[in-house]
Amino acid sequence: MDLPGLPTGLLTTLAGCLPSARLALVGGAVRDCLLHRQHRDPWRGVMDLDLVVEVSGSRFVEALVKVPDLELCSAREHGRYGTVELEVRYSGVELLLDVACARREIYPRPGGKPVVEFDSLEADLARRDFSINAMAFVLDPCGQEPTLIDPHGGLADLQRRQLRFLHAHSLRDDPTRLIRAARYAARLGFHLAPASELQVRQTLADWPWVWMPTDNPMQAPVSLASRLRMELELLLTREPWPSALTLLQAWGGLRLLDATLQGDLFWRRRLHWAQRLGLPLLPALIAPAGDPLAIAQRLQLPHGQQRMLGQWLRLRERLQNLSGSGCGMREQTWSPSRWTQWLEQASCTPEAVALALAVGLGPRRPLLRWWLRWRHQVSPCSAAELMDKGLSAGPDLGRKLRHLRLAAIDQSERWIPSAPS
């Protein structure tokens, strides 16, 4: 059998590397093959195959690199889990191979890292998230049709177009499976099986790592935080996120981030604005939470995104103070240059102002004007031109340049006071 998009004979070649060891294609590649879809890596867009072998993964790779038509581009081994990630080129086609030794996993604590024990292919399938991802094609080294193994009824669930957790504690072991469910449901048009919906409600009702604003940022397992971030980034960047987030919120899953976000009615508008303004969506999603910086730390967001959230919080505080200081009406009539000075003296970054616009902070008009136009305005005269006219280098020159720039901003448009926000 050859999968769509794969070089002819690749699967037979892989199975022939170690003929005495059972090799199987598992996970998303099997699911998508049965759905007549190509399975590709969500980040790079190339074909991505998950393979399980009943010997050491590194031993299989040693045999694999001897294949004449296969070029090994890179390899990364994860000894604890018995997996090897490979980038290869076969017959001119770039492929990603994730080769794993068959194993079972035991979760000693909710959301923590699993304890791994090497086992059979059947045990490996039993550790997976959903029944539709717990099927395998056992490959034949002689080129015969692969054998489908489906011990958990995944094929029937594909026909029902439903997502079903494999075990009663699947979600408690790894709550990121709920975000994955939203991703798959939005992408494939599937729904949660009734028993799985019940498991979601019961698990979230007593989930021990629902973060509150007063919690220690490092309270929850680090592995849980990084997995949550990765799943959320995939949802927001590689899936139809409006549908996926709608499902996640309907299931109560935004409580995994913050109770405030579970009741958020404006995330769709906010994320659409963030997208238009070129912002990363995950900081925009968590911005209205009780303590977005704490959530950003827990999720281990990149430092640049954490810095942007901190700048936005300071801008929000300044805008609130401005409205509450008796200037609530006066700031509506400020000139463009006055707004420019007020924003830039506080070192407001374009990203912080863009996030304020996405969240809906007001007054909206001057913030949007500054972001779109005023911040790009330069002085109509350069320093060299002013010095040619007799002005000496120094503080006076800098003040003159700033004055000319602000005057040009005022001249660039007629200021119309905005309505109170």
Flag the least confident range among 52-66, 216-230, 336-350: 216-230
Mean pLDDT of 387-411: 92
pLDDT digits (tens, 9 = 90+) for 52-98: 998 887 888 888 888 888 888 998 887 666 788 999 999 888 999 99
What is the rounded distance in angstroms from the CA atom of residue 229 to the CA atom of residue 176? 9
In this prediction, residue 307 carries a pLDDT of 95
Q: Is the pLDDT of residue 177 over 60?
A: yes
Q: For residue 286, what are its two tokens?
A: 């968590």
Per the CB < 8 A criterion, the answer to whether 213 and 291 are in contact is yes
Distances (CA, A) of 190 to 132, 248, 331, 370: 11, 13, 50, 44
pLDDT digits (tens, 9 = 90+) for 239-270: 999 999 999 999 999 988 888 899 999 999 99
Q: Is the pLDDT of residue 342 over 60?
A: yes
In this prediction, residue 40 carries a pLDDT of 80
Q: For residue 357, what are its two tokens?
A: 């616009």
In this prediction, residue 219 carries a pLDDT of 62
Contacting residues for 350 by C-beta, under 8 A, at least 6 apart: 371, 375
pTM passes above 0.95: no
pLDDT digits (tens, 9 = 90+) for 314-333: 999 999 888 766 555 455 67
**Residues paired with residue 105 on neighbouring β-strands, in sequence order:** 116
Distances (CA, A) of 29 to 16, 21, 124, 185, 255: 20, 20, 16, 17, 31
Cβ-defined contacts of 264-273 (< 8 Å, 24+): 264/288, 266/360, 268/242, 269/360, 270/358, 270/359, 270/360, 271/236, 271/241, 271/242, 271/245, 271/358, 273/357, 273/358
Q: Is the pLDDT of residue 421 over 50?
A: no
- List, in order of start, the domains of the chain with CATH numbers: 10-160 (3.30.460.10), 174-291 (no CATH), 302-421 (no CATH)
Residue that the structure tokens 């090497």 belong to: 118
What is the rounded distance in angstroms from the CA atom of residue 145 to the CA atom of residue 210? 47
Residue that the structure tokens 């949660």 belong to: 192
Residue that the structure tokens 């006055």 belong to: 338
The pLDDT confidence band at residue 209, using thresholds 50, 70 and 90, is low
What is the rounded distance in angstroms from the CA atom of residue 322 to the CA atom of residue 331? 8
Supply the mean pLDDT for the chain.
Answer: 88
The pLDDT confidence band at residue 49, using thresholds 50, 70 and 90, is very high
Per the CB < 8 A criterion, the answer to whether 33 and 160 are in contact is no
Cβ count near 76 (within 10 Å): 9
**Cα 123–chain centre separation:** 30
In this prediction, residue 68 carries a pLDDT of 85
The pLDDT confidence band at residue 116, using thresholds 50, 70 and 90, is confident
What is the rounded distance in angstroms from the CA atom of residue 381 to the CA atom of residue 257? 50
Per the CB < 8 A criterion, the answer to whether 215 and 266 are in contact is no
The pLDDT confidence band at residue 18, using thresholds 50, 70 and 90, is confident
